[in-house]
Structure 1
Amino acid sequence: MIKPMDSVESFIRRIPKTETHLHIEGALPYDLLVELDDSRFPSQPFFRERAYKYPDFVNFETLLIDHAVQWFDSAERYHVACKRMFESMASLNVKYVETSFHLHMVEFIGVDGRDILSAIKSAVPEGMEVRVIGGMVRNGYTEVMKPIIETLHQWDELDGIDLHGQEWLDLEEWAPPVWRRCADAGKIIKAHAGEFGGPDKVYEAIDVLGSRRIQHGVRAVEDEKLVARLAEENCVLDVCPLSNEKLGVFPSLEDHSLRRLIDAGIPCTISTDDPLCFANDIVDEYIALHSRLGFSKEELAQLAKNGFVHARMSESKKSQYIAEIDAALTQ
């Protein structure tokens, strides 16, 4: 007899899925580090234990960067990491990905950002569509980065931009014009907000940066007017539940705001954020929503469909994958 959980997991694995909130440096396959030097990188480090939670964001960010820079020192290394990363995702039936690379790595390692961009795109396997986003931090408008940031709207292969990093830093005056130019150039406009910052940061992302794609946004529930506005304006929240738990945004997954956001009519998608640090994959995310938050197969299916509805892909492809999800529900 098939157990209910077995049935749900099989369903989750079977349906086409998206990842729309994924950091390349934070998704570095950990086994590449083990292969690089197993004396320095144990096969099961403490921070990848299932129960581990980070004490604060700075501790998490430091650990991520310290590990990422051990691998990412060239465009070729980006290609190798992304090839393995995308192939793993494809095995879980991920069909569409929006992934960001840290533009400031250009300054850290001295590699042209366009070369990194090309290396990422050349790693995409057949049957998967990938949109590459350039991520910037709030205080990253340095002398080196200024001429790069100011020309991003002219990068034909760049699909979008995102604001990363520490939300408690003020938004500097350089950012809004960059977001406007990229929006006018037809690029995907994102911003991290409402994770460690409160509703004020979500308002800032919407009203100052003009973004309707919010990375996280889960603390919007602290402001009822904001929740209503996000629903009315069809703003999309790209949510990473296990990341939110492990970084202490909520005490536990059971306290997460996702269901309240969905019940309010806000379109949400599900992604993994930084699998290097959280040891998660997209199937883990969906399973956790079912087993710990009681999401039904129908609700999981709707989350998967949301990813395609708001994807930057052809309408025919969207319809195809949504139809496959509906078909899986009837089996």
Structure 2
Amino acid sequence: MSSHHPLPKAELHLHIEGTLEPELAFALAERNGIDLPYATPDELRSAYAFSDLQSFLDLYYRLTAVLRTEQDFADLAEAYLERAAAHGVRHAEIFFDPQAHTARGVDIGTVVRGLSQALDRSEERHGISTQLILSFLRDLPAEDALKTLVEAEPYLHRISAVGLDSAEVGHPPAKFTQVYAAAKAAGLRLVAHAGEEGPPSYISEALDLLGVERIDHGIRCLEDPELVARLVAEQIPLTVCPLSNVRLRCVDRLEEHPLPAMLEAGLLVTVNSDDPSYFGGYVEDNYQGLQRALGLTDDQLRLLARNSFLAAFVDDERRAELLAELDAPSRSSILG
């Protein structure tokens, strides 16, 4: 990252398990007596080369094995928050995948309590307000998601929303109608990954059948002009992850990313890092990469930051604070 002061921004599409840097993976493996199939952090980093979403997921789930204790999850979240603060993040809505942990015998309470240790101190330590989003793994049965929601009940005071992630193709949103209705009844906000590798129809399904308020990714909406018109009219936020799209071969090169066309269409686009340790960059790296590869102007980057605050699940008072920081006069000439 360059030495300029990053714009204040919210990060709304970030998987905490995807922030596991190789060095921390090795440290946790040693602490927990786990053998990793790599000799060094550098060797592990070189394995972070993916042909598609599934090849990434295979490694991602294998590495979750090092996360065992509350302290492991606290260390993971604290490492992310330190980096996020340096990237100008003022509010972070953080996905976690309970099923990836409960499937290997780690209780959901261990995960939530551990993450909360770091998140509860985040505003004081890093100036970052935070929320947790419980993500269901869409390649597992819907019954498993319902069971997970029940297991999460004692911790719902710490959870703001539910999401839907993992392998998209062949797992349409419709599969999760019942669990989303239950989550809504429990007072949770609703988001879902849709239209990354899956078709534009998955975006419509997520809106109409699941009732989501925000679409994670959504880049394939451009294939359906009627859907684009609807997303613009309703100002449904899209949490786009450019470096992730390139790394997972949804877009061949950053120079070809559809984000400028999405902005041009009037879509409420935000920029996020997804799984930054695996995809070659945290959120400011995405902003800077877009500016370099696509010639985005300072005003366009500022619009993306503004959109992130408009799309965040914060109250009006916090949103006003965040927007005021973005609009402060001292911000007018800081982009380098």
TM-score, normalising length: structure 2: 0.87
Q: Which moved more, 1:101-110 or 1:156-165?
A: 101-110
Per-residue Cα deviation, 1:203-248 (whole angstroms, up to 9, x for no partner): 1111111112111000110111111111111111000000001111
| Moved >6 Å (runs of 4+) | none
Q: Which moved more, 1:275-284 or 1:18-27?
A: 275-284
What amino acid maps onto 1:60 in structure 2? Answer: F
What CA distance in whole angstroms lies between the structure 1 residues aligned with 2:166 and 2:91?
Answer: 24
Unaligned runs of 5+ in 2: 31-35
Pairing 1:116-265 to 2, within 5 Å after superposition: 116-124=111-119, 125=122, 126=124, 127-141=127-141, 146-150=146-150, 152=152, 155-171=156-172, 175-265=176-266
Alignment-derived partner of residue 10 in structure 1: 4
In structure 2, the residue corresponding to 1:100 is in which secondary structure? Answer: strand
Alignment-derived partner of residue 284 in structure 2: 283
Displacement after TM superposition at 1:278 (Å): 1.5
What amino acid maps onto 2:113 in structure 1? Answer: S
Which residue of 37, 40, 45 maps to 2:38?
40
Displacement after TM superposition at 1:186 (Å): 3.0
Displacement after TM superposition at 1:142 (Å): 7.3
Per-residue Cα deviation, 1:12-35 (whole angstroms, up to 9, x for no partner): x2x212111011111113321243
Q: Which moved more, 1:269-278 or 1:234-243?
A: 269-278
Are the aligned partners of 2:18 and 2:277 in contact in 1 as well (CA < 8 Å)?
yes
Are the aligned partners of 1:17 and 1:307 in contact in 2 as well (CA < 8 Å)?
yes
What CA distance in whole angstroms lies between the structure 2 residues aligned with 1:141 and 1:152?
Answer: 17
What CA distance in whole angstroms lies between the structure 2 residues aligned with 1:320 and 1:288?
Answer: 27
Are the aligned partners of 2:93 and 2:131 in contact in 1 as well (CA < 8 Å)?
yes
Alignment-derived partner of residue 310 in structure 2: 309
- What is the total number of aligned residue pairs between the two structures? 320
In structure 2, the residue corresponding to 1:131 is in which secondary structure? Answer: strand
Are the aligned partners of 1:34 and 1:41 in contact in 2 as well (CA < 8 Å)?
no
Displacement after TM superposition at 1:79 (Å): 1.1
Displacement after TM superposition at 1:325 (Å): 1.8
1:28 aligns to 2:23 (yes or no): no
Are the aligned partners of 1:297 and 1:329 in contact in 2 as well (CA < 8 Å)?
no
Displacement after TM superposition at 1:282 (Å): 1.3
What amino acid maps onto 1:75 in structure 2? Answer: E
What CA distance in whole angstroms lies between the structure 2 residues aligned with 1:142 and 1:219?
Answer: 25
Displacement after TM superposition at 1:151 (Å): 6.0
Displacement after TM superposition at 1:167 (Å): 1.5
Displacement after TM superposition at 1:253 (Å): 1.1
What amino acid maps onto 1:148 in structure 2? Answer: T
Displacement after TM superposition at 1:174 (Å): 5.9
TM-score, normalising length: structure 1: 0.88
Displacement after TM superposition at 1:150 (Å): 4.3
1:75 aligns to 2:70 (yes or no): yes
What CA distance in whole angstroms lies between the structure 2 residues aligned with 1:188 and 1:91?
Answer: 28
Alignment-derived partner of residue 92 in structure 1: 87
Would you tell me which structure has more helix in proportion to its own residues? 2
Displacement after TM superposition at 1:145 (Å): 5.7
What CA distance in whole angstroms lies between the structure 1 residues aligned with 2:174 and 2:298?
Answer: 45
Over 3 Å counting, the alpha-carbon distance change for 1:73 and 1:330 in structure 2 is same
Q: Which moved more, 1:112-121 or 1:96-105?
A: 112-121
What CA distance in whole angstroms lies between the structure 2 residues aligned with 1:150 and 1:34?
Answer: 33
